[in-house]
């Protein structure tokens, strides 16, 4: 099987998480500068077989896209054009940063470690991926 990659897209930084080849376990991968994301994806897709990419879609409480959609939407268009062979799914990412902070506290991370936004971003991507995998199981 091939992997599923999750993207927590941000203006400056992007968190990434990935499944194992059996698509059972989600793990934080890394956080990179958003400007480097297209070339990073080129390289990653050369090395790894990726079936699906899940990008977090920020939504308001009324389920409408948030204002962040205005900078994510151009990335989605670019992705579909540049990587037509990869299935791109959007997935609700509401509260993932809050959940990432909570997971870091519950995991015993010190305050200084929790202030590292690169850690928050890749954990948020992992939460998006875990939620996506759980949602797939529910909808089978």
Distance between CA 128 and CA 6 in Å, rounded? 7
Intra-chain end-to-end CA distance of the chain, in Å: 18
- Between helix 37-47 and helix 69-82 the angle, nearest 10°, is 40
**Tokens 């941000």 map to which residue?**
10
pLDDT digits (tens, 9 = 90+) for 91-118: 877 555 555 556 555 666 566 665 556 6
Distance between CA 104 and CA 120 in Å, rounded? 8
Q: What is the pLDDT of residue 2?
A: 93
Distance between CA 101 and CA 3 in Å, rounded? 26
Domains in the chain (CATH in brackets) are 3-138 (3.30.420.140)
Of 85 and 115, the structure prediction assigns the larger pLDDT to 85
């Amino acid at each position: 099987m091939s992997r599923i990659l999750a993207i927590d897209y941000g203006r400056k930084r992007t968190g990434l998480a990935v499944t194992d080849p059996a698509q059972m376990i989600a793990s934080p991968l890394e956080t990179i500068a958003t400007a480097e994301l297209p070339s990073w994806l080129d390289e990653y897709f050369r090395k790894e077989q990726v079936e699906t990419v899940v990008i977090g879609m920020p939504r308001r409480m009324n389920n409408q896209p948030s204002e962040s959609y205005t900078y994510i939407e151009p990335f989605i268009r670019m992705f579909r054009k540049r990587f037509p062979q990869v299935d791109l799914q959007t997935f609700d990412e509401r509260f993932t940063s809050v959940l990432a902070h909570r997971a870091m506290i519950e995991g015993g991370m010190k305050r200084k470690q929790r202030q590292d936004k690169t850690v928050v971003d890749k954990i948020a991507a992992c939460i998006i991926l875990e939620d996506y995998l759980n949602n797939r199981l529910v909808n089978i």
